[in-house]
Chains A and B, each alone.
Chain A
């Protein structure tokens, strides 16, 4: 409905701009500048990916792709470049976060769009926008001081007082990330659900469906692509998160025995190691290889998201 109203207005607006006097010098300069800006951003991105690919591939050549993907031990100072602990750490925390954070977030979005009282909706949305804008270091600091001790006590309750477990590990990082991604996933889900045409709900109600049946059997299935995109986006954000995770993951470069033992992720290990990686050394190149792997994962997620969010024919 909105589109039909807005479309012709845009058309007339464009026509008026085209009719305005043009090709004076200031005009040309401004246009040139704007285009240069556009090109510059594009070029920066291409060069960045190019550089990362070059150094990363060099690293893969030096230490071997097999070791980078499946080696069990990362210790560059002893020429050990096993990337498995880093990759596992990244995936387990991100998957855990997606499971624990995205599920409630999507359901909350359904509740918010279908059942919540009108005045509450706007307030809830603002609150989530604020939560999504909190810097990650704040989340990390809060988790370190409040979540990690609780998780430590929890771990000892499970494994016994005498076991070597603690608050730092995958469990803490997954819980922290789930809290961090929930607002974003919720906001994206609300957007997806709001795009469901209203007449579907009316038709469903006319057939005698209760609001719950409408919400879960009509609205959610119709918006599934958008909801999936929201979850994927949350996963990508969790996989790339650095600062907050580094504060609670512990930083041990081994595959942990359980969720309450310290380990590491790709991004936090890059932060730890870049300090003493001298440019041009295998340690430095291997680190770039891990960065490249992280980038490839992100690109894959973006591509899947794009495929899913292609408009469906109504």
Chain B
């Protein structure tokens, strides 16, 4: 009797082991497979519409989510932020239906369909203190040198003596990518403290003396110094006017990517965000965002 039960359990074990062992041989394919099944199933079901990515775009998506859920009984939108590149990775893997991004998808991500929903400007923002009370604008090259680490003290740009503490966004950040491309000519940031979320960064800037970073204008804050940029003889404030006219250069489109053409709930949500009603009434009321239609200049890459 003892022998039989031992044999049964042993056989069961071997079967279990064999089954799992087989699964083990191609793990990457296996995981990719489950992810794509998820993606294939997700739009069909009427569950929540999952959105992830850019934390710069998050305030606008949250505003849209509230209105959309109020208008459509039973609809639910889940928004999470973690950086533009995470949004692109998530939507490509099928973890979410919509991936928010401040930047264009990589050229090899051809299956992603772009929906440009707004424009947002970016600016260098700094901790306010007596050391930089007189500074309101800096030249493009000065700002660049601060973030590459060549200028290390506020006194070198006309302020009082205070070491500059550069705080970076994580490499996954679209804000970092756009600001780096336009101001620094690439990701040439000095290696320093890193925050992976815009909201947390604002809090950090307020509490750290001499700190400077870069943020979307949707996070503009009266307790932070927002730097204008000197271009030639002109000083360009980061405002809707200067951005739409193409005078203030640090801006990007806010994209909402879907994998393939949008379907189901994701399509309804995107249609809502792109509707004239939302674009002309709600969108301008959310701080820092500019409707796509207002732009007098265009871009097709970052």
Contacts and interface: CB of A to CB of B under 8 A. Distances in A.
Interface string A261-300: 0100000000011011011100000000000000000000
B170 interface: yes
B172 A276 contact: yes
A23 B193 contact: no
B24 A47 contact: yes
Contacts of B172: 275-276
Interface in B23-79: 24, 27-28, 31-32
Given A168-B193, A250-B194, A275-B172, A32 B8 contact: yes
A149 B203 CA distance: 13
A77 B161 CA distance: 34
B284 interface: no
A251 interface: yes
A209 interface: no
Contact of A36 (B13, B31, B207): B13
A40 B15 CA distance: 12
B266 interface: no
Given A39-B17, A252-B192, A252-B194, A28 B171 contact: no
Interface string A52-96: 001000000000000000000101111000000000000000000
Contacts of B31: 279
A149 B191 CA distance: 21
A11 interface: no
A278 B163 CA distance: 37
A28 B16 contact: no
Contacts of A137: none
A164 B154 CA distance: 12
A50 interface: yes
Given A23-B1, A32-B8, A252 B191 contact: yes
A290 B12 CA distance: 36
Interface string A32-50: 1001100110010001001
A182 interface: no
A22 interface: yes
Contact size range, A = 35 or more
A279 B36 CA distance: 14
A199 interface: no
Interface in B86-128: 86, 89
B8 A28 contact: yes
Contact of B9 (A22, A36, A76, A273): A36
B187 A78 contact: yes
Given A39-B17, A40-B16, A28 B32 contact: no
B196 A23 contact: no
Interface string A152-176: 0000000000111010100000000
B9 A31 contact: yes
A119 B204 CA distance: 46
Interface string B138-175: 00000000000000110000000111110010111000
Nearest to A279: B28
A254 interface: yes
A163 B163 CA distance: 6
A31 B5 contact: yes
16 contacts: A28-B5, A36-B9, A40-B16, A51-B27, A77-B187, A164-B152, A164-B163, A250-B192, A252-B168, A252-B191, A252-B194, A272-B194, A273-B171, A275-B85, A275-B172, A279-B31
The 3 closest A-B pairs by CB, nearest first: A251-B194, A276-B172, A23-B1
Interface of A: 22-23, 28, 31-32, 35-36, 39-40, 43, 47, 50-51, 54, 73, 75-78, 149, 162-164, 166, 168, 250-254, 262, 272-273, 275-276, 278-280
Interface of B: 1-2, 4-5, 8-9, 12-13, 16-17, 20, 24, 27-28, 31-32, 82-83, 85-86, 89, 152-153, 161-165, 168, 170-172, 187, 191-196, 207-208
